[in-house]
Amino acid sequence: MAILTAQSFPCPLCLVPLRVRSSKKGKPYVVCDACGVQMFVRARPGIARLASLIAQPEAVAVMQRLATVARQQRQTCRSCRHAFWLSEAELETSWFNGAHVGYKCPKCGAAVKPPEPETTR
């Protein structure tokens, strides 16, 4: 499990924590290899906002919570490897007793098991 730190920022698409890098001119940027997203912050007000956001411990906690929710709500079909949000999927139930089995992949229709709840120790 990836953890957001004071020098990371979540990907705007998949919310994976990304290391904030610095360009040759000292301007911050992030690159998500999973999504192919590159985000450059070029204007001074944006750079100041980004710096204050990643410096605030409560903001890092909020971003960590968003990343946790995204992991719980984003699934990948084992059959076709299609990534989808649970809101796009259809609920899959057992024909025998109506119990919740999982979710139906919107692309291929295969059943995807529900996410396991995270336990705290």
Nearest to 42 by CA among 23, 55, 60, 59: 23
Collapsing DSSP to helix, strand or coil, 106 comes out as coil
pLDDT tens by residue, 13-35: 777 788 899 999 989 999 988 88
Segments in the chain forming alpha helices (H): 44-55, 57-73
pLDDT band at 83 (very low <50, low <70, confident <90, very high): confident
- Helices then strands, counting H and E runs in the chain, come out as 2, 10
pTM over 0.95: no
Residue with structure tokens 């809101």? Answer: 87
Average pLDDT over the chain reads 77
Retrieve residue 50's tokens: 């980004």
Calpha distance 54→34 (Å, rounded):
22
Calpha distance 47→56 (Å, rounded):
14
Q: Give the pLDDT score at 88.
A: 57
Q: Pick the residue with more confidence: 114 or 120?
A: 114
Q: Is the pLDDT of residue 8 over 60?
A: yes
Q: Give the pLDDT score at 18.
A: 86
